[in-house]
Amino acid sequence: MNIVGLITEYNPFHNGHLHHIKEAKRITGADAVLVIMSGNFVQRGAPAIMPKHLRAKAALESGADVILELPVCFATGSAESFAAGSINLLNHLGCIDSVCFGSECGDLSALDRIAHVTADEPEEYRLMLKQELQQGKAFPVARQQALKHYFQDGFLDTLLEHPNNILGIEYLKALYQSDSSIKPYTIKRILSGYHDQELTERFSSASAIRNCLSSSLTESASVESLLQLKGQVPDASFQLFCETFQNRYPVFANDFSLLLKYRLLCVSRESLSHFLDVSEDLANRIYNRRNQFISFDQFCELLKTRELTYTRISRALLHILLGITKNDLRTFSKQGGCQYARLIGFRKDSREILTEIQRHTSIPLLSKLTKTDQLSSVGLSMLRQDLFASDLYESVLTEKFKTPFISEYCQQIIRV
């Protein structure tokens, strides 16, 4: 059985994602599509606009066969950590033939050239990167400049200006460093850019769709306000979005403001630097300015500097909120990365994939939270983080939409 893996967030699911699924099957010749998807928090350091089970259902209704959840410590990490965790999970499954990712350039060989340099770090490149960092530049900018000087190639330089190209490089680097047998493919993003804020005719970005949901949301907002999204998402997804609007979504970072403020009041200046993505400098900035906290978004803007990007700060604050530390990630990585493959949903006519996973996987396939006997103490620690993150998200849903709380132990696997 030929299985292609996709690494996604589906935040939310839209026509571009449907195109990705179809093209991935076409260019790889795959019989089935397995998706590694972020849970209720995503890589840019924010809550997903819709809960994971809703996003998984939308993907399954549009052709995905199996959805597995990427553990939250990787899902909310840097591009390098996100990619490494995702590829690690695909490798552990033992039955994935290929991985297909979107990129702005659509040029696998160009991305691969950069990936090998960033993985091997030849001396000349390492010195250039060190010099750029010593000038106080943020790491993404410093790396782009170092690669520009190293390659002396304007085309390769521009590749690093686009987020999906950067992720693609990290996927390739992770495949290379893990000596993976999984074959990479890339498809070019069509029409809209990753950060585009305005809706286009048919292929709008997830950012534009989230922006649309945010700007149209008022106390009197109704399903009619979603009509401008009709045609931007598959019909089945649009129906699902209408059925659950103002009941299960939308969720934004500011919905977590009071929870974050509470966490910031509980930690000391010294303990702040223990959290993932929190440097000593950022810890001092957070501690010194916490009394100026008004909201999640406002605090990110307040802390932002030339060296510290909004996204980096948002991820750091999210790790403080969720209690994810640098030591956690070090421990998980030393113990083999992902400790389990957690099933979120599948198509009923795709059970053969689950059989393939169970036959080849080197880690437990978790379909029931009551059956965790196979997990090590490290695996249980990783799972506790996932459960806490999901229950925290659900608590915000409960408060915001006045709906009953659904514990992770009561959430049903999505079957389509």
15 appears as a binding residue in the annotation: yes
2 appears as a binding residue in the annotation: no
254 appears as a binding residue in the annotation: no
Q: Answer whether 0.85 is exceeded by the pTM.
A: yes
Instruction: For residue 378, count CB atoms less than 10 angstroms from its CB and return exposed for 0-12, middle for 13-18, buried for 19 or more.
Output: middle
Q: Give me the pLDDT at residue 218, please.
A: 57
For the chain, percent of residues with pLDDT exceeding 90: 81
pLDDT for 113-165, tens place per residue?
999 999 999 999 999 999 998 888 878 788 888 988 899 887 777 888 888 99
Report the C-alpha dihedral over residues 345, 349, 350, 351, rounded to 10 degrees: 80
Contacts for 32 with CB less than 8 Å, ≥ 6 apart? 1, 2, 3, 4, 65, 66, 350, 352, 353
Contacts for 233 with CB less than 8 Å, ≥ 6 apart? 12, 13, 14, 15, 58, 209, 241
13 appears as a binding residue in the annotation: yes
88 appears as a binding residue in the annotation: no
247 appears as a binding residue in the annotation: no
Give yes or no for a contact between 92 and 362, defined as CB atoms under 8 angstroms apart. Answer: yes
One CATH from 2.115.10, 3.40.50, 1.10.3470, 3.30.200 for 3-106+188-252+337-415 = 3.40.50
19 appears as a binding residue in the annotation: yes
Query: Taking the domains of the chain in order of start, what are their residue ranges?
Result: 3-106+188-252+337-415, 254-330
Q: How do the residues of the chain divide into helix, strand and coil, expressed in percent and rounded to 5?
A: 55, 10, 35
Q: Does the structure show a pLDDT above 80 at 186?
A: yes
168 appears as a binding residue in the annotation: no
20 appears as a binding residue in the annotation: yes
319 appears as a binding residue in the annotation: no
Q: Does the structure show a pLDDT above 70 at 70?
A: yes
For the chain, percent of residues with pLDDT exceeding 70: 96
Q: Does the structure show a pLDDT above 90 at 204?
A: no
Query: Residue 87: pLDDT band by 50, 70, 90 thresholds?
Result: very high
Q: Give me the pLDDT at residue 130, please.
A: 93
pLDDT for 266-312, tens place per residue?
999 999 999 999 999 999 999 999 999 999 999 999 999 988 889 99
63 appears as a binding residue in the annotation: no
| 253 token code pair | 């970072």
11 appears as a binding residue in the annotation: yes
10 appears as a binding residue in the annotation: yes
pLDDT for 342-396, tens place per residue?
999 999 999 999 999 999 999 999 999 989 999 999 999 999 999 999 999 999 9
280 appears as a binding residue in the annotation: no
Size of the chain in residues: 416
From the CB of residue 202, how many other CB atoms can be counted at a distance below 10 Å? 14
274 appears as a binding residue in the annotation: no
91 appears as a binding residue in the annotation: no
3-class secondary structure, 312:
helix
Q: Is beta strand 183-188 parallel, antiparallel or unpaired with respect to 98-103? A: parallel
3-class secondary structure, 97:
coil
- The rounded mean pLDDT for the chain is 93
